Structure 1
Amino acid sequence: MDSKRPTSGVNLPTINLSNLSYLKCDTKGKKRPTSFFYWRLYFVTTGNLIVDYDDQILQVHAGEYCVIKRLQDHLLETRELPVKFLLVEFSCQEADTAFLSTLLNQTHQASDEQLDLLEKIFSNCQCGDANLVNGEISLLEVPVFQIQLMIIYFLELLYLTNYKKQPIMFIESGKLSKEYSRELINEVIHFMEKNLSENITIKELAKHFFISPTSLKKFFKEDTGYSLINYFRTLKMEQAKLWIREDDQLFTTIAQNLGYESIHQFSKTFKRYTGLSPTTYKKSIQSIDEQFDSLL
């Protein structure tokens, strides 16, 4: 199922989830996967998994993961037992391979936020008769809205992995903010983060920072790759997701606090950004939290 993330927000791949597995190895040795048709993400929860390909060896320890590109022949080796790992197989559009290629040929240490995302991805499989342990999960057994939510989590995980390599700071609200070479751009972003309740126009921003609207749009696009309006909307939606997940605010309150004139306008924007309505998003999060304390 395709991701519903809009192209106007953060530039993330459009993917399909093909397989989810939680595997346990009790014997030492090497094994070649039966298919290389999909991209693969291996996340090790226990032990050490060795991934061997093209004269390169990746040792993926507990709490780490790696990404293997489509059609890449490789071997999996286990030496110290037991070894447990999560496997995500996925496909993407050709235009998105450049983004994914930055994740290859290295292991990645999972942050607490990424561990939480992985837990929620696999927790979504725990429904009906699906059994995650020592086998594959049939996505046909998972409700459509759960798959949508898993894709959102997985894209966030890939996004965080990609941008770990660049200068990043996580501010208290949970939004992602990057340090740019132009101090003006950092100040503009900080100003937007502090004024999420307002509906700031480009003209107002330009006046506040004593610069022409044309120059401000040009510099912001050059440094961030995004338009000012889309960046500001993304900040608002990320804050909305955080409040829905962690606070007990009414949707009408969240809409007002983010400067939306009506709950309808907020809900429409939220669904266009995440692929889910605020109500469905909240119910999905609550369902996961209630049924599973922890997977990892």
Structure 2
Amino acid sequence: MGGRRRARGRRAVTTALLAAATALVMAAGCTTSGGTPDDGRGHDSGTARSRGPEQGSVLAVKIDNVRAARPQAGLDAADVVYVEQVEGGLSRLMAVYATRLPEVVGPVRSARESDLELLRQFDRPTLAFSGAQSKLLPLIDRAPLLARTPADSDGAWFRDTGRQAPHNLYLHPDGLLPSPAGRAALTTGFRYGPAPSGGTAQDRRTVDYPSADFAFTWSARRHRYLVDMDGKRAVTPGGEPVAPATVVVQYVEIRPSEYQDFLGNHTPYTETVGSGKALVLRDGRTYDATWNRPQAAGGTEFTAPDGSPMTFAAGQVWVVFAKR
């Protein structure tokens, strides 16, 4: 009983702080208007799944990425951020946490079929999401992951009353995991090290989806890439820029899945097993690369044109899945 009171108190304090920080960013000119109807038919519900805190597992969180969801909380703490296309040509993020857990992550939204294949590279990852289409839930139940929704994780979730639903569901990661899994759990296949030779000097790179766009601008002062989403700088609720050290534009097959949103549109399926071309942005230079992931239960290797391993800069990595 006392634990629930503490959780309620923490939610109230966090909601107030989050709302205050968001207000400061909005006052500085950060756009948070617009949005899209909720496309997760689970509507913050889920089937009963295994419970209890889990150790040794990376945490993957599905994060909303329409204008009404920004600025998102916890993006800056992620080790890897995946960008995927969803219905209507919009985008959604999956943030993966292994080395540290932020106080708050969100807004959290629904899962997609593609997530199950993408997450097979990790050993029993914890997937936090708001819900999913009812026909997809059995696949999630059978997937080798630990699914967590507000329905089965009491005390870890809260609503920010200063935002409109469905863009106001947030997560306290320490309500799901007692501690970060550690870098060894980050089995993405990425290699980190000094920059390879070659590449092309390039300060800015853009990636366009049908209804969303991204720009990555090299900051020599920060030695990081500044992220623009739909023409606005991506920042934390406190106003600090989200700044990955490496950006990967991975060209993949994006096809209609068997599942539909509430309007009857087929949700896109992003194929992350296979091989193809990629661009790797690091240290203000762009490198041509090839990606290869022969099986789902393994990470993705990136190689340079001469066949040598492509190395990433130390720090956060963004992987943007672009249509081949």
Q: TM class by shorter-chain length?
A: under 0.3
The structure with more strand, counted as a fraction of residues: 2
Could you tell me the TM-score, scaled by structure 2's length? 0.24
Could you tell me the TM-score, scaled by structure 1's length? 0.25
The structure with more helix, counted as a fraction of residues: 1
